Amino acid sequence: MSAGLVTGVALLGALAGRAAVPLARRFIGLPGGPRAVNSSGALPPGRPGGVAAAAVSGVERPALRHAVPLVGAVVFAGLAVARGTDAALPALLLTATVGLALAVVDLACLRLPDPLVAAVAGAAALGLVPVALAGGTPERLLAALAGAAVSFAGYVLLALLPGARLGFGDVKLAAALGLPLGWLGWPTLGLGLLLPHLLNGVVVLALFAAGRVERDTPLPFGPAILAGAWLAVLLA
């Protein structure tokens, strides 16, 4: 892909990042009545509105509003450089668009709302099915489904381990991202399963060394799952 096209895709990524913040805000709280949401987007019993109000305030910080478009530009440009000749690139970009909003929500309130996770899976399927049919390779859809199943099973086992901090929102997100990762092949899927844990470990160690977190501090894992999948695609 030419430098001009990569730049254009990066600008689209910046626009996607800009749109991610107001989209994320819809799943954190609403004007006049901020509310915290659980993994399905519903109000958990006994959850004080002040928690969601603080999360909404964090999403509205100027630093975050400027950072997310930059991240979007980098994510889109990376995909364009790595997969520029791949007919599945639009599917990957569409999946990344929803992923940006999902990362913002998880960073703000440690939640991965089901509607957004379903949108990640839908974006991947919506983009990959036409590519498979047009290219005469429907078997690749089976590989994508197998990737989702393997990701789901692996993360369920990890979530059920004693002391595990994975939530079932993380499990469902991993399964959704298993669709495009499985489409790209087993080595890519393997990297997509491994890299999130390596990335999260580095971040946790850095935060712990800096005195920003304690051993029992809850931290979002969704951004690591998304970042690991992105890196796996780049390295495929």
What is the pTM assigned to this prediction?
0.86
Mean pLDDT of 20-24: 92
Could you list the residue range(s) of the whole structural domain that residue 224 is in? 3-235
Number of domains in the chain: 1
Q: What is the pLDDT of residue 55?
A: 44
50-83 pLDDT per residue, tens:
344 444 445 556 667 789 999 999 999 999 999 9
User: Which residue in 12, 27, 10 sits closest to 115, CA to CA?
Assistant: 27
Q: Is the pLDDT of residue 183 over 70?
A: yes
What DSSP state is assigned to residue 33?
A: S
The secondary structure element, H or E, covering residue 44 is none
| Coil vs helix vs strand at 164 | coil
Q: What is the pLDDT of residue 35?
A: 39
Query: In the structure encoding, which two tokens stand for residue 182, read together?
Result: 């499985």
